[in-house]
Structure 1
């Protein structure tokens, strides 16, 4: 079994940044031959790593530190007026946590989301192989949160269980239901689930101040950021 002391890391050559124009990015990966169990995955996450399928990575850019790992202490979180409104808007939905797997219904929702919301991104065009390698493979404890309206699947959030919390991996939803703010709703549900499981943290991945698509993360307060190797609360203007 691998440990932090025995892990080997690799860095990619510089490549175009997916989030900031005119910048190069370098990514550090855990050796894919390593055996990463839940304990090691939890330790890596606390150090700022993320999971994408079977790969564990973090930004390692020489001249840029814009990607900041963020997490919520769920016991300190209190929803604001807008977040309470999102909960009310979705009171007609049912939520069900299931094991992560590839089904035709899940893939069809994912494909619609990528085709209509991210047709200019790295994940276009979608494929079943991409869905499985990105969202199903790799984790020791990974789940899908189904969001259904009258039994129809309209949202799907991918969640990993860690020793000290949950990790919000990805969320897709029916583009016709955009008015429901299902991305925000999924985070709010995961906050409640972490509390129910008596886990202190919900990890939200990376936040980039200049990236508009990530601005929603700092609406959850108080939010903690990994800065200079230490988790610390971001100021309200952060």
Structure 2
């Protein structure tokens, strides 16, 4: 079950992205939000801190929380967020199609593994379509040593939800590698791109909180439809 501040955070994000609170306007005060949501100011502060961290607002002393311009099709660089979570948060109305679901070893060269390192996995390839346009090809290798089986229904829905809510696993951390590469012939066909188009490849390796390796991922994004952002704040060192 979500914590109260997380629920408030998601509702405020929904209102910001749907311009209930337009860009350059101010959110209601902490007291007003606490009254509206029937909670404490401390809970509201936690929700606002999440908005601040993720680039939705900027705090101005004596004025409040200023709403910043935010592109709902801009993926955050940091953080481990599932596609379904982003879809629900930003009302993208994505359709997911499972293209492949089979047993396969993690490709060593693609993820800079030693050639002797054999990692059996379940391979899932999914296409994300928004407003009838193919946008992203997600390829996931989930280690069978951690998750022995994945059904098509799970692949169609959310892997993270299955890991965390059904299996009780706790996602811990990961890394991401971003490169711009020419699309393969297969990728051009799936994403309806002209030959030799550029795509953005995002490769990731995910661990559980106990450091167990669980997943290798490569997402191929159409360069003309998505951009990636990191909201940075000045910190002196």
Short-chain TM bin: under 0.3
**Larger Rg computed on CA atoms:** 2
**What is the TM-score when the length of structure 2 is the normalising length?**
0.25
**What is the TM-score when the length of structure 1 is the normalising length?**
0.25
